[in-house]
Structure 1
Amino acid sequence: MMTNPLQVAKKDMRRRIRNILLEVPREGVISQSALATTKLFSLAEYRNAKRISVYLSMPHSEIATRGIVQDALKSGKEVFIPHIHRVDGASMQSNVSVMDMLSLNSLEEFESLNLDKWGIPTLSDDNIPNKLNCFGGYGVSAGSTKTPGDGAGLDLIVMPGMAFDADLRRLGHGKGYYDNFLSRYWKEMERSTGAPRMPFLGEIFYTC
């Protein structure tokens, strides 16, 4: 099996960047998170958004999103957060797990989330079936029943990234969750509305 030079280069880049990010001091995480959050709040796309997706950050190596989630919920926005789950069948090509965006209903729920092995706040499996999916309907998208166009769509997605180049091309963590999600989002909106519109993508990151 031939090795893809681009994939090898990306893997090496991720390794080197991961080591750099781990060296960012706690004070740097706090100050850069505050700057990124303030910048996001200044955007009309954020202020006008009614339905947003926000990643929940690790305790290190990522811009902290706690303040974004808190502000969005206090402002009355509908907030959706990532939930990664395994799927059966070949409908998702070679992926064995996919990411959905499920509703986060309140500040109280946010504060009560348990941490996963990476320190990321995570929805309880018991609550998943009752969670509104950004694609419409409830629970995870694979195998769920959805009403086309009913409660579907997002206005803004706040995305993480390990690194960005000068043209803001994103290097993710390598799992392809966001690439897969955005592709599915386009197809689902096209199917359900006939006139797909992609949400505004807000990518926040450290400067080193």
Structure 2
Amino acid sequence: MAASLAAVKKEMRKGIRDKLKELSVATITFQSSDVMLTFFSMPEYKAARRISVYLSMPVGEINTSNIVRDALSQGKDVFIPYTYTLPSPNEGQPKSIMDMLQLKSMDDFNALQPDKWGIPTPSEDSIASRANCFGSTGITNGETTTGIEAGLDLIVMPGMAFDSNFGRLGHGKGFYDYFLTRCHQASRMPFRVGLSLTEQFLPPNESVPMDSSDFRLDALITGDGELRRAGAS
């Protein structure tokens, strides 16, 4: 069953990836602008003091740079993904995991260098001095202890595909689902928002294949600016 689910997910990613190759930069920019207008109006975003946001690739997904700018300008604590290999994974832990590390300023953001996917990434020598969202400094090596003032209020999540039941298909590494499992263990689950190009939003008769380790979203904003909320009638 697990092998079959993985094969279905892989095939869906391929289909979406082929669609995204056809999109122009102008189309992504236009959709990103509509998404931002809706996102900034959300009461959950306005109230959030600590947020995590993915830093977008040059193409193929909603651009999030304006979220970083707006959140920092409002004095919110902004955390970004950082993935790394665990030196000695415990039983049940993946070999590589993701922490959320703090951006210190717009100058810090502008100094990030693109990785092999074009995603702005902090330098290795800066990692040890960055706060992580679980309340300590540097990478956590999978520790999940969260202080009263730690954790996240809201997390902006990327994906390859999204559906009307708030399912999300990731890129296949499992980073976000394992990170959210750790948040759940620490008893501090953030409000989960997905941002989807219209080409990534599946038609009503299709859904993202999910298993027990996959987390659904609390809200989804599509490239036409429409906000969908889980549980809304």
**TM-score after normalising by structure 1:** 0.91
Quote how far apart the aligned CAs of 1:198 are: 1.3
TM superposition shift of 1:141: 0.6
* Runs of 4+ in structure 1 over 2 Å off: none
Find the residue that maps to 2:84 and give its secondary structure.
strand
Q: State the secondary structure of the residue aligned to 1:4.
A: helix
Report if the CA contact (8 A) 2:131-2:138 is conserved: yes
Equivalences for residues 142-181 of structure 1 within 5 A: 142=141, 148-149=146-147, 151-181=149-179
Where does residue 62 of structure 1 map in the other structure? Answer: 61
Q: Given residue 29 of structure 2, which amino acid in structure 1 is its aligned partner?
A: I
AA paired with 1:8? A
- Find the counterpart in structure 2 of residue 117 from structure 1: 116
Please name the residue that 2:87 is paired with. Answer: 88
CA RMSD of aligned residues (A): 1.7
Identity %: 49
The CA distance in 2 between the partners of 1:197 and 1:177, in whole Å, is: 17
Question: What letter corresponds to residue 195 of structure 2 in structure 1?
Answer: I
8 Å Cα contact 2:152/2:188 also seen in 1: no
- For residues 24 and 74 of structure 1, the distance between their equivalents in structure 2, rounded to whole angstroms, comes to 31
User: C-alpha displacement at 1:5, in angstroms?
Assistant: 1.5
Cα distance, 1:92–1:161 mapped onto 2, change above 3 Å: farther
SS at match of 2:159: coil
Q: Does 1:204 align with 2:195?
A: yes
Change (3 A) 1:88 1:207: same
Aligned to 1:192: none
Larger helix percent:
1
Equivalent residues, number: 199
Q: Which runs of 5+ in 1 are unaligned?
A: 190-195
